[in-house]
Amino acid sequence: MKKTLLITASSVIVVLLVGLLFAGNYFYGKGIKRGTDVELHRGSTEEVNTSPVSGNKQPLNKAKNWYENQDKQTLTLTSFDDLTLQAKYIKNEKASDKTAILAHGFRKTGDAMGDLAKFYYDKGFSILLPDARGHGDSDGDYIGYGWHDRLDYIDWIDRMITEYNTDDIILHGNSMGAATVLMASGEELPDEVKGIVADSGYTTVKAELAHQLNHLYSLPSFPLLDVTSLITNVRAGYMLGEGSAVEQVKQNTRPLMIIHGGSDELVPTDMAKEIYDAASGDKSLWIIPDAEHKEAFDMKTKLFKKRVGAFVDRALNK
């Protein structure tokens, strides 16, 4: 009898483990692996970047048209783990020694930051728009969610300083790109980095994936994300719990501006408040009440330019 119970219990455990491994691989494929289509929970609308945006779109369309017509130099970089990464570079015609490095969001490319490129260009900055690892024209078969990417952006920073004579650098990221620059803020950055703008960033990779798992599948994070994390460590070289913007900003020494939509359900607004509370140094938090995910620039274009522009000016003169 005991032997039968032991065999039965062992069989159940094996089935559960196999099921967890299957599920972990499934969620790795959906959330971490490069190139797979994925639906994200964002509240009232379910598809990324399809929520209606109010306001005058003429300045945004003008900025996008401007970006499409710029001459862009393609730069390449070899990462710490031998990936070939690419970025587009727009040299300011005023021969500026200032560079804005713009970090795009999940499953986007540097081109997605084209409207912001004009904003910074008009302020006298040259523009660097990297494709994050696992995105666009950059190598990589997984999404780094900002964790490994933070080291890539430090390499891009060094490149701008050593080869392009950049004296002043602003980092500006949206969504996953915001998490990237927030995670970079905790590293030993060169003095040339003057300020950081993070729009719609998440606290940790694990917390954001747990949020998506709950809303899309009505599943708890434990034990699925723990198994997925182990699989990610084997296949991509990092644990989901490692990627923490909250822990990194505790070490920040640069002026930091955090922007978030008050109605953001893709990355909950409370995450912005948690990051702000944890951050060291000169910091500010701007919550736009009716904005959803990374809608601040679209909804409040004039005010965005005024507030972010003022922050950039202060950071450069600090």
pLDDT digits (tens, 9 = 90+) for 169-197: 999 999 999 999 999 999 999 999 999 99
Assigned token pair, 119: 């904003």
pLDDT band at 257 (very low <50, low <70, confident <90, very high): very high
- pLDDT of 64 reads 87
DSSP E strand stretches across 248-297: 256-261, 283-288
Mean pLDDT on 247-263: 98
Q: Is the peptide bond before 190 cis (omega within 30 degrees of 0)?
A: no
Q: Are 158 and 99 in contact (CB under 8 A)?
A: no
Residue showing tokens 């803020």: 185
* pLDDT reported for residue 47: 37
Mean pLDDT score, 133-155: 97
Are the C-beta atoms of residues 131 and 76 closer than 8 Å to each other?
A: no
What would the mean pLDDT of 20-34 be, rounded to a whole number?
74
Report which residue type is found at 202: Y
The angle formed by the CA atoms of residues 132, 133 and 139, to the nearest 5 degrees, is 125
Q: What is the mean pLDDT of the chain?
A: 88
**Confidence at 29, pLDDT banded by 50, 70, 90:** confident
User: pTM of the prediction?
Assistant: 0.89
**Rounded distance between C-alpha atoms, residue 50 and residue 79, angstroms:** 33
- Give the domains, in start order, of the chain with CATH numbers: 72-204+243-316 (3.40.50.1820)
Q: Is the pLDDT of residue 7 over 90?
A: no
Q: What is the pLDDT of residue 60?
A: 80
